[in-house]
Structure 1
């Protein structure tokens, strides 16, 4: 299945834990598909298949699991997964969300990034949400959600720009060939065919 405008949420938590996040993403009309992928130690193949269906990935971790052990620490949970997401989709298309934290300030975010440097190396953003953040309409929550939306939009627009550029280039080249054929006619087409056949099969033409 093509990746298209599909976002994947990858986590060891059940999808009910981040329903607030899926509700937010489903409200963004430019997202054409949302995939929730449950990570476990026995489904590495399934995880990789899910990654290949997405254009943008969110690695989700909840503090309710007990610790902030995403990467680079004892018993970290997502070292391999974050590395695969980043190498498959590109750093610009991966973010990390840590939910249910007691402190969601920028200072706490900086502290986590300093201790778990792989997050900064492999993802384009880290977002912390407390329980209070999730269930209130605070300015901080809205700012973070807007930034997440902006990163996803940027990811999709870059993909669209690339496709548009490739299509335009192809049309331009086809137009040049069409103009040449209209000018020189069928004899030119025959000559070009013979030239191409001899060159690519026998390398007999040296000029």
Structure 2
């Protein structure tokens, strides 16, 4: 069984996204085991960078219960540095953004959010929107997945996470190759500098 470790990163309480954690871990996957761990974001960025290491995939979660959709690129945005770090560490295709508790979650609303906050598209492979209505149902209804809209969104998120496992190997090879090239260029520059400097002369060599 494939095992994928997923970090849900947010400044919001775990209680807000327990429904998402529950589905990903227990009800949405059979052949793939998804382990979901909450990573609470504070103003201590170094601590966040440390805690988020060791995962295969990251979900940046934001709820409009805070009052605004101020994720990035706007005044008082909450996740500029964090989103950039996740993309740099895992690769853009290993990062998803979930925006929760919206009034609307259609394609038009998604375009408005992404166009107004372009770093979402730059640093995350997918953005998933959920409304209060999507979750406005009994626990039994959610378990049975009768809501087709909710089901299709969660299946899309699950599929995206599962695909990330294969992309991890490719991203690692690219990153390793870049590191090798960087090391090669540094070494080449040092050798060139030494050759340009020549063997060097002392006062005694002039006699």
**TM-score, L = length of structure 2:** 0.72
1:85-108 CA distance string (max 9 Å, x none): 000000000000000011111110
CA deviation after TM superposition for structure 1 residue 32, in Å = 4.6
Taking the aligned partners of 1:144 and 1:119, their CA distance within structure 2 comes to: 18
Could you list the runs of 5+ residues in structure 2 that have no partner in the other structure?
138-145, 173-207
Partner of 1:14: 13
1:163-200 CA distance string (max 9 Å, x none): 9xxxxxxxxxxxxxxxxxxxxxxxxxxxxxxxxxxxxx
**SS of the counterpart of 1:5?**
strand
Taking the aligned partners of 1:48 and 1:17, their CA distance within structure 2 comes to: 22
CA deviation after TM superposition for structure 1 residue 160, in Å = 6.5
Taking the aligned partners of 1:31 and 1:96, their CA distance within structure 2 comes to: 21
Partner of 2:160: 151
**SS of the counterpart of 2:33?**
coil
**SS of the counterpart of 2:12?**
coil
1:79-128 CA distance string (max 9 Å, x none): 10000000000000000000001111111001001100000111001111
Partner of 1:205: none
Say if 1:10 and 1:39, in contact at 8 Å, map to a contact too. Answer: yes
**SS of the counterpart of 2:102?**
coil
Taking the aligned partners of 2:150 and 2:113, their CA distance within structure 1 comes to: 19
Q: Which among 34, 37, 45 is matched to residue 36 of structure 2? A: 34
Answer 1 or 2: higher relative contact order, Cα 8 Å, separation at least 6. Answer: 2
Which residues in structure 2 correspond to 1:80-159 (within 5 Å)? 80-136=81-137, 137-159=146-168
Taking the aligned partners of 2:99 and 2:168, their CA distance within structure 1 comes to: 27
**SS of the counterpart of 2:99?**
strand
Taking the aligned partners of 2:46 and 2:105, their CA distance within structure 1 comes to: 33
Say if 1:7 and 1:31, in contact at 8 Å, map to a contact too. Answer: no
The count of aligned residue pairs is: 159
Could you list the runs of 5+ residues in structure 1 that have no partner in the other structure?
164-207
Of 127-136 and 145-154, deviating more is 127-136
1:38-61 CA distance string (max 9 Å, x none): 1011x3222112221211000000
1:59-81 CA distance string (max 9 Å, x none): 00000001010110000100100
Distance change (3 Å), C-alpha of 1:162 and 1:95: closer
Taking the aligned partners of 2:57 and 2:24, their CA distance within structure 1 comes to: 12
Taking the aligned partners of 1:114 and 1:52, their CA distance within structure 2 comes to: 30
